[in-house]
């Protein structure tokens, strides 16, 4: 029997067999290919790693290995954690790995962004993913994201936003001079710009439940220039181009339709 190092797939096919499922040690939870799992980090002080299981295999000695694809947390990405990243945000990376099944601590659910924003209660096991991430280059797919409010930021589902009845844009209470408590008590909100306009057109379709439901959006691109590390978001409107930290300039556009599905 040839010896193989842990984590390195054996070249000898004999004795390895694919498994339909694996039961997490000390639990009755079954893990199957396609499931998302929490894996014990090497540093005990860190949060668990999140991965999507691609394949489960056992070798001749019944050591179970999982082939997995890592999710990255924003702080593990080249651009780092940004203000608009939610606490439960993950990026699906192009980083594949083989790990011992013993490192699996539990299961979790990685929702689409839209489904996550519709959850009534967010449990410890709930995460979401709106971007794929290339670990080597730090690039995101999609390379654009909708932005809201005067601050031109993408939606962070952890933050309360209020929708203007006039322009339908969403605002952070702090950005329009309100406290979160004041915003929660509001029945109607009209932004300063729309208040000065007498002819506020009211929505015929009512209100979207959250910015994730918006159809018409302003979008921002990830910077692709020399400053790559920053992945600075720039405002994209039909009227003007916003300089990045690196002073690169961008083409500007408005996208009709959701930028994520
Ligand atoms: Zn804002
Ligand atoms: Zn408005």
Burial 99-132 (b: 16+ CB within 10 A, else e): bebebbbebbebbebeebbeeeebeeeebbbbbe
Give me ligand 2 centre to Cα 170, in Å.
8
Q: How many CB atoms lie under 10 A from the CB of residue 247? A: 9
d(C-alpha 231, C-alpha 20), whole Å: 40
The pLDDT score that the predictor gives to residue 53 is 98
Q: Is the same domain home to 192 and 227?
A: yes
Q: Is the same domain home to 52 and 107?
A: yes
The pLDDT score that the predictor gives to residue 221 is 64
Q: Is the same domain home to 114 and 169?
A: no
d(C-alpha 218, C-alpha 152), whole Å: 9
Give me ligand 1 centre to Cα 159, in Å.
10
Residue 28 lies in a domain: yes
Ligand with the closest atom to the CA of 211: 1
The pLDDT score that the predictor gives to residue 30 is 97
The pLDDT score that the predictor gives to residue 36 is 98
Give me ligand 1 centre to Cα 155, in Å.
9
Answer yes or no: are the C-beta atoms of 57 and 65 closer than 8 Å.
yes
Q: Residue 150: which CATH number?
A: 3.30.40.10
Residue 64 lies in a domain: yes
Ligand with the closest atom to the CA of 84: 1
Q: Is the same domain home to 121 and 181?
A: no
The pLDDT score that the predictor gives to residue 222 is 65
**SS3 (DSSP) at 76:** helix
Give me ligand 1 centre to Cα 216, in Å.
18
Q: Is the same domain home to 219 and 174?
A: yes
Give me ligand 2 centre to Cα 171, in Å.
9
Give me ligand 2 centre to Cα 81, in Å.
29
Which of 78, 110, 133 is the C-terminal boundary of a domain?
Answer: 133
Provide the domain count of the chain: 2
The pLDDT score that the predictor gives to residue 144 is 73
Residue 166 lies in a domain: yes
Q: Residue 38: which CATH number?
A: 2.30.30.490
Give me ligand 2 centre to Cα 214, in Å.
14
Q: Is the same domain home to 107 and 163?
A: no
Residue 62 burial by Cβ neighbours in a 10 Å radius (0-12, 13-18, 19+)? exposed
Residue 6 lies in a domain: no
Q: Is the same domain home to 225 and 151?
A: yes
Q: Is the same domain home to 106 and 54?
A: yes
Residue 11 lies in a domain: no
Query: Ligand 1 being an ion, which residues bring their Cβ within 5 A of it?
Result: 149, 151, 172, 175
Q: Is the same domain home to 154 and 212?
A: yes
Answer yes or no: are the C-beta atoms of 109 and 127 closer than 8 Å.
yes
Phi, psi of 182 (to 5 degrees): -60, -40
Which of 83, 109, 133 is the C-terminal boundary of a domain?
Answer: 133
Which of 133, 154, 180 is the C-terminal boundary of a domain?
Answer: 133
Ligand with the closest atom to the CA of 164: 2
Q: Is the same domain home to 88 and 163?
A: no
| Domain residue limits at 228 | 142-256
Give me ligand 2 centre to Cα 121, in Å.
29
Give me ligand 2 centre to Cα 223, in Å.
28
Q: Is the same domain home to 61 and 127?
A: yes
Lookup result for tokens 């979401």: 128
Q: Is the same domain home to 104 and 49?
A: yes
From first to last of the 261 residues of the chain, give the pLDDT tens digit: 444 445 555 455 568 899 999 999 999 999 999 999 999 998 888 899 999 999 999 998 989 999 999 999 999 987 788 888 999 999 999 999 999 999 999 999 999 999 999 999 999 999 999 999 988 877 888 877 787 888 878 899 999 999 999 888 899 999 999 999 999 998 899 999 888 865 544 444 455 667 776 555 666 666 554 444 444 444 444 334 444 544 443 433 333 333 333
The pLDDT score that the predictor gives to residue 238 is 35
């Amino acid at each position: 029997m040839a010896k193989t190092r842990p984590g390195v797939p054996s070249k000898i096919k004999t004795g390895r067999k694919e498994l339909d499922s694996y039961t997490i040690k000390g639990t009755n939870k079954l893990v199957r290919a396609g499931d998302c799992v929490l894996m014990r980090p090497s540093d005990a002080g860190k949060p668990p790693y999140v991965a999507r299981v691609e394949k489960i295999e056992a070798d001749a000695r019944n050591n179970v290995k999982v082939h997995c694809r890592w999710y990255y947390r924003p702080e593990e990405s080249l651009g780092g954690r940004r203000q608009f990243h939610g606490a439960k945000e993950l990026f699906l990376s192009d980083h594949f790995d083989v790990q011992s099944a013993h490192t699996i601590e539990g299961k979790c659910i990685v929702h689409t962004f839209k489904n996550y924003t519709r959850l009534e209660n967010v449990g410890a096991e709930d995460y979401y993913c709106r971007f794929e991430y290339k670990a080597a280059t730090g690039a995101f797919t999609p390379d654009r994201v909708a932005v809201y409010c005067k601050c031109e930021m993408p939606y962070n589902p952890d933050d309360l936003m209020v929708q203007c009845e006039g322009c339908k844009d969403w605002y952070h209470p702090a950005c329009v001079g309100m406290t979160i408590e004041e915003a929660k008590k509001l029945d109607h909100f009209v932004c300063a710009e729309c208040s000065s306009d007498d002819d506020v057109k009211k929505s015929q379709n009512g209100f979207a439940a959250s910015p994730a439901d918006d159809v018409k959006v302003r979008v921002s691109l990830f910077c692709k220039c020399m400053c790559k590390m920053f992945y600075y978001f720039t405002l994209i409107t039909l009227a003007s181009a916003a300089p990045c930290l690196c002073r690169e300039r961008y083409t500007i556009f408005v996208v009709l339709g959701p930028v994520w599905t």
